[in-house]
Amino acid sequence: MASLLYVRELPGESGGDTLFANLCDGFAALSEPLQQFLLTLDAEHDGRKDLANYDVILDPRVEYPSATHPLITVHPQTGQPILFVNRSFTKSIEGLRKSESDNLLELLWTAVESNPRFHCRVRWSPGTVVFWDNRCTWYRSICDYYPSTRHAQRMTIAGTARPERWVKRP
């Protein structure tokens, strides 16, 4: 449902910001024909993909979490549609050929990542804590601090409802 992030160690003089994006705005910015098409689709989200992005060595004997959810979900409090994709964990779109799925996901990821109107960039300083709605927010660390390191602690508040498909009302 929600997450908090506290950076314990900052990478030197600068760098290590975190970029957050509003996925309700991401959906609203898409063309009407594309929105209509996306409403019919489901996406597979894969924990293995997410962990591999962090260079975690995966154990082939372990079953990692995965789930299929509508590509466009509804925010349970506001009723707004959410573009429910993330480069880190969205693996594929069901029913499409691999090349179609890969290309459509790339288009959606890029639409969110490249539009600063949807973004909030947090420049960390000692004692900063960020709290966000995990159901409609995409985030990533800006990795511009190599070879320094950044250490953070994250706490996630579990929700009780699965993401549900948004239905456009007339």
Q: Give residue-wise pLDDT tens across range 3-21.
A: 999 988 888 777 888 999 9
pLDDT for residue 23: 96
Gap between the Cα atoms of 18 and 57, Å rounded = 25
Residue 85 lies in a domain: yes
Residue 167 lies in a domain: no
Q: Is 16 exposed, middle or buried (0-12, 13-18, 19+ CB in 10 A)?
A: buried
Domain of 130, CATH number, reads 3.60.130.10
Give the bridge partners for 19, in sequence order.
Answer: 121, 140
Residue 165 lies in a domain: no
Residue 51 lies in a domain: yes
pLDDT for residue 54: 66
Residue 126 belongs to domain spanning: 2-157
pLDDT for residue 88: 84
Is 109 in contact with 62 (CB distance < 8 Å)? no
pLDDT for residue 169: 75
Residue 125 lies in a domain: yes
Number of domains in the chain: 1
| pTM summary value | 0.85
